[in-house]
Amino acid sequence: MSTAAQTTAAAVRPISRSVRLRRSPLGRVLTKVPFWLLILVIAVYALFPFYWALRSAITPDSQLFNTPVQYFPSHPTWAHFHDALSSSLFRRALLNSTIVAGSVTLLSLAIGSLSAYALGRFRFRGKSFVLYLMLSMTIFPQIAILGALYTMFSGFHIVGPIDFPKLYDTPWALVFSYMIFTLPFTIWVLTSFMRALPGDLEEAAYVDGATPLQVFWKVLLPLIAPGLVTTGLLAFISAWNEYLYAVSFLQSPSHYTVPVAIVSFTGSSGNAFQFPWGTVMAATIVVTLPLIVATLVLQRRILAGLTAGAVKG
């Protein structure tokens, strides 16, 4: 609409009283107040439990169960962090989780980008079938195949001399099973990134005599780098946070991943019956702080990836 039409329209219709009030200096401040109040409420709502975990992690055990509840301890202590980090089991769990989540991410990105290359840049029949197969995998209920995976991982005979290895209680059981939810999503998002690139991009490279794999590696992959970062981060976080498969397929405490270790924490001293809340909260902070930092720094990437997968899909 042209500005001339706008100004004429404004001049013809009188400005309503409420609009005049709102535009006055006092009105401007007053309408901002509820808005910022709402922002504050949302921020508190999102962050309070995290603050609570932090305050509990620095509260000494003798005051943890004090009533009335203390919102900040009178004698803060680092003892819980010390306990959590000196617990070899917890450190082992951090290592296990890193290995599992890292492997899942790398595998998903590798397999996913190759598949996205095929699905996004090639033409062949059956392509949409594969795409829809991947989409349907995202609705797969993980619980439904828990029993089958359980027996699979105990090792079974495939054919002749080929045996499926006994993966139970190893990180590879998790790497394998986490692909169920990381791979389809990765393929879906990376395919949409691949599709968004100009159609004739590869032609120049083909003319120069490049093979398809060289085109993939040198031309396309760098261009979808933002997509790789996004899906990589999302895959890492979902693998890191997963609990159901981890608690079902792992049994030795030294193989636990972080979510299982935190829930079954008994601390380095104390009875099997005791649950050390302070130390658990400290462990929680240690575990979630890097994730939160990564989220803060990469929040735009995460958003782009989520919307590419969900909204455009």
Partner 1 sequence: MSSVATPAPIPPRGRRTKLQRRQTRLGWLLLLPALAVVAFVAIYPLGKTVYQSFTNQEFLAGLTPTKWVGLHNYHALFHDTIFRDAIVLTLKFTAITVGFEFVLGLIIALVVNSSFKGRGLMRAVMLVPWAIPTVVAAKMWQWMLDDTYGVVNDLGTRIHFTLFGWHFHLLSHSHAWIADPSTQLASVSAVDIWKTTPFVALLLLAGLQVIPNDLYEAASVDGASKLQQFWRITLPLLRPAILVTLIFRTLDALRVFDVFSVFFGNRLGAQSMAVYDQGAIVQDGHVGYGAAVSVAIFLIISLFVVMYVTFVRVSEQ
Partner 2 sequence: MKHRALLIVAGLVGAATLAVSLSVAAAGTSRPRTHATPAKSAAIVPPRVPNRAAIKAKYHGQKITFVGDSVGNGHVRDLALAKRFTKDTGIKVTVVPHPAASDQSYAQLARAFSSKSSSIDVAMIDVVWPGAFAPYLVNLKPKLAKQAKLHLASIVANDTIGGKLVAMPWFGDYGILYYRTDLLKKYGYTAPPKTWTQLFQMAKKIQDGEKKSNSNFAGFVFQGNAYEGLTCDALEWIASAGGGHYIDGGKVTIDNAKARTILDAFRTQIGKITPQGVTTYQEDQTEHAFDNGDAAFARNWPYQYGIGAGAGSKVAGKFGVTVLPHGAAGGSVGTVGGWQLAVSKFSKHKNAAIEFVRYMTSPGVEKFDAISNSNVPTIVSVAKNKAVVKTNPYLKPAIASVPRVTRPAKFLGTHYNEASKVIYQGVNQILTGTPASRVLPQIKSRLQQILNSK
Q: Which of 49, 160, 161, 222 binds partner 1 (CB under 8 A)?
A: 49
Helix, strand or coil for residue 74?
A: coil
Residue 86 Cβ, how far from partner 1 at the closest point, in Å?
20
The 10 Å Cβ neighbour count of residue 275 is 14
Residue 89 Cβ, how far from partner 1 at the closest point, in Å?
16
**Burial annotation 140-158 (CB, 10 A radius, 16+ → b, else e):** eeeeeeeeebeebbeeeee
Q: According to the binding rule CB under 8 A, does residue 291 interact with partner 1?
A: yes
Helix, strand or coil for residue 249?
A: helix
Q: According to the binding rule CB under 8 A, does residue 30 interact with partner 1?
A: no
The set of residues, in sequence order, having a beta carbon less than 8 Å from that of 187 and lying 6+ positions away, is 112, 115, 116, 119, 134
Residues that contact partner 1, how many (by CB under 8 A): 102
Applying the rule CB under 8 A, the residues between 113 and 142 that interact with partner 1 are 114-115, 117-127, 130, 133-134, 137-142
Using the minimum distance from each CB to partner 2, give the nearer residue, 23 or 218: 218
Q: Binds 54, which of partner 1, partner 2, none (CB < 5 to 8 A, cut-off by type)?
A: none
Q: According to the binding rule CB under 8 A, does residue 94 interact with partner 1?
A: no
Q: According to the binding rule CB under 8 A, does residue 9 interact with partner 1?
A: yes
* 112 in Cβ contact with 231 (< 8 Å): yes
Residue identified by tokens 């401007």 is 28
Q: According to the binding rule CB under 8 A, does residue 179 interact with partner 1?
A: yes
Where does residue 155 fall: left (phi above 0), alpha (psi -120 to 50 degrees), or beta otherwise?
left
* 158 in Cβ contact with 164 (< 8 Å): yes
Binding site for partner 2 (CB under 8 A): 60-62, 65, 67, 77-79, 81-82, 85-87, 89, 154, 166, 168, 225-226, 229, 247, 251-254, 264, 266-276, 278, 286, 289-290, 293-294, 297-298, 301
Residue 16 Cβ, how far from partner 1 at the closest point, in Å?
10
Contact range with partner 1 by CB under 8 A, out of 23-31, 85-93, 105-113, 223-231:
105-113
The set of residues, in sequence order, having a beta carbon less than 8 Å from that of 64 and lying 6+ positions away, is 56, 277, 278
